[in-house]
């Protein structure tokens, strides 16, 4: 593994695309992560997860646009073609509906495809297969045909890519029974959840984030082990707190943690929950936390109406209403297609200040 890492490093895996190499400060890492002196980018984490699963099980194969010779549009599948050959790493033509359907058919027949969408926006061309042939099959066939497929790719807004490349699909896929929807944040999440997804016998939609690919996170020895797996359906409490619960996923976890630090300066102790799994949603953890703090702020990047936050708020109001001291707060992206201009894009997405403001609102309302 060390050798593989070394090779990956030499190939400059952190290069290409937007590499926001921000290392965590020591205090944050001591508080939030398992004590580990190694760091890993999310990109490396995903690459190593796919690599290990492919070497463990010959039925796993990768399919997508530019995953082979181009080494992956975002270099996630770097080195896999050289290692496993063209029979296991397929560069497809630009036919989302076609190759997604082929992946689903292969999963019906017993293989374990990992289908990459260059971004989840392109999955809309294949959404019929994700939902109708993959998600619903186990149910329609009464358990005869399960579909052990993983659909992965970057989701949500990147930087200045415009309206058609910036939508967040978490809410859409998470509303479908039969799918499991995961959204990792850190490198540990990325590794553990992707390995769990590939091993899972059901269809998994794995929503990554392009801006997180280049970010480094500390990673423990345990997470580097090839049998490391995170449970699907369990959220992680990134930061303990007692005044307000901030629930979020993917890139917004980073923002929430920063907001929590700002709030700490003002005497508000925020508990940050990293959902990790959008479906099944870990309602138990969210509700337990809200019962402890009595206030809820949910954050997501996607469109506000019928979003993931709406579901979380509904769940909390249904199950922990009497524990709430303030109305639930919901922060989502602006209800507009993503604009291109940098300042407008910043306005269209939740920022750290928005989370801080909402948390303060939740705290002062009770007074």
Residue among 6, 231, 327, 337 that touches other proteins (CB under 8 A): 231
- 177, 265, 305, 335: which one binds other proteins (CB under 8 A): 177
Number of residues that bind other proteins (CB under 8 A): 57
What minimum distance in Å lies between the beta carbon of 74 and other proteins? Answer: 24
Positions 66 through 95 that interact with other proteins (CB under 8 A): 87-88, 92-93, 95
103: contact with other proteins by CB under 8 A: yes
CB contact at 8 A, 51 and 80: yes
CA angle centred on 110, ends 104 and 113, rounded to 5°: 50
Residue choice 6, 12, 58, 337 for contact with other proteins (CB under 8 A): 58
The window from 275-283, 294-302, 342-350, 359-367 that contacts other proteins (CB under 8 A) reads 275-283
For the chain, where are the alpha helices, taking DSSP H only?
2-10, 26-32, 42-56, 80-84, 96-108, 127-128, 137-140, 170-174, 187-199, 221-224, 251-265, 283-293, 308-320, 342-348, 352-364
What radius of gyration do the chain's Cα atoms show? 20
CB of 118 to other proteins, least distance (A): 16
| 165 flagged as catalytic | yes
Site for other proteins (CB under 8 A): which residue of 82, 128, 225, 318?
Answer: 128
Q: Which among 53, 65, 165, 345 is annotated as catalytic?
A: 165
Residue 280: cis peptide before it, omega within 30 degrees of 0: yes
Minimum distance from residue 93 beta carbon to other proteins (Å): 6
Q: Which of 52, 96, 116, 215 is catalytic?
A: 96
- The encoded tokens of residue 344 equal 């407008």
Give the residue, chosen from 29, 132, 175, 351, that forms a contact with other proteins under the rule CB under 8 A: 132
Residues 217, 21: Cα–Cα separation, whole Å: 9
Task: Give the nearest distance from C-beta 177 to other proteins in angstroms.
Answer: 5
Token pair, residue 44, equals 């490396």
Stretch that binds other proteins, among 73-81, 125-133, 165-173, 207-215 (CB under 8 A): 125-133
Q: What's the closest the beta carbon of residue 154 comes to other proteins, in angstroms?
A: 23
- Residue 13 or 147: the one with the smaller Cβ distance to other proteins is 147
129 an active-site residue? no
Maximum alpha-carbon separation in the chain: 64
CA angle 150, 215, 30 (to 5 degrees): 105
Instruction: Classify residue 247 as exposed, middle or buried by CB count within 10 Å of its CB (0-12, 13-18, 19+).
Output: buried
- Edge-first strand order for the sheet with 329-331 is 236-239, 270-274, 244-248, 296-299, 329-331
Binding site for other proteins (CB under 8 A): 58-59, 61, 87-88, 92-93, 95, 97-111, 128-129, 132-133, 137-146, 148, 177-178, 180, 200-202, 231-234, 277, 280-285, 287-288
The residues assigned a catalytic role are: 96, 165
């Amino acid at each position: 593994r060390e050798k593989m890492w070394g090779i990956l490093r030499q190939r400059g895996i952190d290069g290409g695309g937007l590499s926001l190499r921000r290392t965590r400060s020591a205090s944050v890492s001591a508080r939030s992560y398992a004590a580990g002196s190694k760091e890993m980018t999310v990109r490396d984490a995903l690459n190593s997860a796919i690599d290990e699963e492919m070497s463990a099980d010959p039925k796993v194969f990768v399919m997508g646009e530019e995953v082979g010779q181009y080494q992956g549009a975002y270099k996630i599948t770097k080195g896999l073609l050289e290692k496993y050959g063209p029979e296991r790493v397929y560069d497809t033509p630009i036919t989302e509906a076609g190759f997604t359907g082929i992946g689903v058919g292969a999963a019906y027949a017993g293989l374990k495809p990992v289908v990459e969408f260059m971004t989840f926006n392109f999955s809309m061309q294949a959404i019929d297969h994700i939902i109708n042939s993959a998600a619903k099959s186990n149910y329609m066939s009464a358990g005869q045909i399960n579909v052990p497929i993983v659909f992965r790719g970057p989701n949500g807004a990147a930087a200045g890519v415009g309206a058609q490349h910036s939508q967040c699909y978490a809410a859409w896929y998470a509303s479908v029974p039969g799918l499991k929807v995961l959204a990792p944040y850190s490198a540990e999440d990325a590794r553990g959840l992707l390995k769990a997804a590939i091993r899972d016998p059901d269809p998994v939609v794995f929503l990554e984030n392009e801006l997180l690919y280049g970010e480094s996170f500390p990673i423990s020895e345990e997470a580097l082990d090839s049998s490391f797996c995170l449970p699907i359906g369990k959220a992680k409490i990134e930061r303990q707190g007692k005044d307000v619960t901030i629930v979020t996923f993917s890139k917004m976890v980073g923002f929430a943690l920063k907001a929590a630090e700002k709030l700490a300066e003002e005497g508000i102790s925020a508990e940050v929950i990293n959902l990790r799994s959008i479906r099944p949603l870990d309602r138990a953890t969210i509700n337990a936390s809200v019962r402890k703090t009595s206030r809820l702020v949910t954050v997501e990047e996607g469109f506000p109406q019928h979003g993931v936050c709406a579901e979380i708020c509904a769940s909390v109001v249904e199950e922990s209403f009497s524990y709430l001291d303030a109305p639930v707060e919901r922060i989502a992206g602006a209800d507009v297609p993503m604009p291109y201009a940098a300042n407008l894009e910043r306005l269209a997405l939740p920022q750290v200040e928005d989370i801080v403001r909402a948390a303060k609102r939740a705290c002062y309302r009770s007074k």
